A = this chain, B = another copy of it.
Amino acid sequence: MTTTTHSGGDGAGIVRRTVLPGGLRVVTESMPAVRSVAVGMWVGIGSRDEAPEHMGASHFLEHLLFKGTPTRDALEISAAIEGIGGEINAFTAKEYTCYYARVLDEDLRVAIDVLADVVTSSLITPEDVEAERGVILEEIAMHDDDPSDVVHEQFSAELYGDTPVGRPILGTVESINAVSRDRIAEYYRRYYLPTHTVVSVAGNVDHDRVVALVAAAYERAGALGGDARPVSPRVSGPGVDVRSGVRVLHRPTEQANLVLGMTGLTRTDERRFALGVFNAAFGGGMSSRLFQEIREKRGLAYSAYSYTSAYADTGQFGVYVGCLPSKIDDVLKICHEEIHRVIAEGITEEEIVRGKGQMRGGLVLGLEDTGSRMSRIGKGELVFDEQLSVDEVLARIEAVTPEEIAAVTRDVLGRPLTLAVIGPYEDRDFGWALNL
């Protein structure tokens, strides 16, 4: 059992880390001024670890973990947390899955016990699999009714093709109907191991007490012990096959939804801070170029923004706009103009100052929330070799130079474009939009 400590900085607490026998990692951040505590259990497995024929299994499994263990049925799991006024939930991403709860600090033990129970001891009964299959199909249908959600998935599918990172996290109606109970249970046994798990806790807590509670809960489940070491952060994945193309999905919606973008930076790319400052100025808020050009000046959209996302070995930079179907040509032309302009001319000194202020303030303001801090340290432990303190992140943002921003803008925004569109377009060709 090893414990290390990062010193806390301005406004940030002290982060401590312990590795328990068997390779289970526990990270905590103390926030003595709050009364709540957020507990997360992060498993380094997500939809990109699935074979095509069991697409959606990671997310299906996430649902099944709330259905029952030898000591708690579904009602007892949710009632244990909700009855004390807390919340419990989970989400599945492409590279990890997170189970979390937020409760009053005096209820820390309950949150740890319930989460450890579901993560280590899920029954995954055939009856629960069948009932939950219906729920997943409902979730897929709900998702399909949200065009702003679907367009991002279509963009990933076009950019990455039919590869693990390009496929939908929820799976498809076909894959969910096809996947068997045994396949999901096998996936659970194979990957939900202490070596693949990080427990992160932020709030009014003491590190040693958290470690003791987690160790006791895992011990009861027979999941502690041995000399296995934590798995290293994922550095690559199978089949990232980047393409450039156009995907148009016909839907009788009131608005067209589009994502225009390209590959971005990997999660550990040192240039990510420079791209972050650029993104804030380009499409990160109401004062950004995209918002000003598309919405403030011309009233062409309600929602218009740019974003970055990052995985172990690839990333995305994209622009999202929702607009009336008749406005899409104008919107696409503006997006192109703005992309070409920043490649050629960069952004202004004033925009850089504002972009840095936006990133800095967003980080500091986000730190008042136990859930945000729990996520930062939990995800950080799982996906980074070395976790940066808040002060280090702030210093990296501050250190970004205009030259670095110009260089990363030229590199990333100069990459081949991909476009996804959803809207009432029976057979319109948007190929022109890649070659303006």
Contacts and interface: CB of A to CB of B under 8 A. Distances in A.
Given A145-B253, A254-B145, A292-B75, A364 B134 contact: no
A254 B368 contact: no
A230 interface: no
A82 B357 contact: yes
Contacts of A78: 285-287, 291
Contacts of A364: 35-36, 85, 104
A104 B140 CA distance: 40
Interface in A205-235: none
Contact of A298 (B131, B362, B368): B131
Given A299-B135, A354-B79, A85 B362 contact: yes
A420 to B, nearest CB: 16
Contacts of A75: 287, 292, 296
A131 B296 contact: yes
In the complex, the count of this chain's copies comes to 2
A324 B137 contact: yes
A138 B324 contact: yes
Q: How large is the interface on A (under 10, 10 to 19, 20 to 34, 35 or more residues)?
A: 35 or more
Contacts of A142: 148, 254-255, 302-303, 322
A84 B353 CA distance: 9
A346 interface: no
Interface of A: 11, 33-36, 66-67, 74-75, 78-79, 82-88, 102-104, 130-135, 137-142, 144-148, 252-255, 284-287, 291-292, 295-303, 322-324, 353-354, 357-365, 368-370
Contact of A370 (B104, B144, B298, B368): B368
Contact of A365 (B102, B134, B145, B324): B102
Given A33-B33, A75-B287, A138-B323, A299 B84 contact: no
A-B pairs with lowest CB-CB distance, top 10: A85-B361, A134-B299, A33-B33, A78-B286, A141-B254, A79-B287, A131-B299, A78-B287, A138-B302, A83-B354
A360 B141 contact: no
B369 A368 contact: yes
B82 A358 contact: yes
A359 B85 CA distance: 6
Contacts of A284: 82
Nearest to A253: B145
A295 B67 CA distance: 11
20 contacts: A34-B368, A36-B368, A75-B292, A75-B296, A78-B286, A82-B354, A82-B357, A84-B357, A85-B362, A102-B365, A104-B361, A131-B297, A134-B299, A134-B300, A138-B299, A138-B301, A139-B302, A141-B324, A142-B148, A368-B369
